Amino acid sequence: MLVGCAGTTQTGTSKPPALGTPVGAAEIARWDISIPPSGAGLPAGSGTARQGQQVYDQKCLSCHGPKGAGKPADALVGGIGTLASKTPVRTVGSYWPYATTLFDYVRRAMPITNPLSLTNDEVYAVTAYVLALNGIVGEDAVMNAQSLPQVRMPNRDGFVSDWPPRER
Partner 1 sequence: MSKKNAGRRRFLVQSAALVGGATSATLSSPAAAQELAGQPWERVYGAPFTGYGQPSKYEAPVIRHIGRPYGDLAPGSGASLSPIESLEGIITPSSLHNVRNHSGTPDIDPKEHRLLIHGMVARPLMFTVDSLLRYPMTTRTHFIECSGNSNRGLTPQPAQVPAGAIHGNAACSEWTGIPLRVLLEEAGIDASAKWLLAEGADSAHMSRSIPIEKAFDDALIALYQNGERLRPENGYPVRLFLPGWEGNMSVKWLRRIKATDGPTHTKDETSKYTDPLPDGKALQFTYEMGVKSVITRPSSTMTLPRPGLYEITGLAWSGAGRVRQVEVSTDGGASWTAATLLGEERPKSFVRFRLPWEWTGKPAVLQSRATDEKGRVQPKRADFLARYAPDIRFHNNSIVSWAVGADGKVTHVYA
Which residue of 69, 83, 141, 142 would you call a contact of partner 1, by CB under 8 A? 83
Residues 113-132 binding partner 1 (CB under 8 A) are 115-116
Nearer to partner 1, 61 or 142 (CB): 61
Nearer to partner 1, 81 or 138 (CB): 81
Interface map 6-45 toward partner 1 (x if CB under 8 A):
--------x-xxxxxxxx---xx--xxxxxxx--------
Residue 52 CB burial class (10 angstroms; 0-12, 13-18, ≥19): buried
Size of the site for partner 1 (CB under 8 A): 49
| Preceding omega of 72 cis (within 30 degrees of 0) | yes
**114: DSSP letter:** S
From residue 135, give the alpha-carbon distance in Å to each of 107, 152, 162.
22, 12, 30
**H or E segment at 62?**
helix 61-64
Which residue of 58, 112, 146, 150 would you call a contact of partner 1, by CB under 8 A? 112
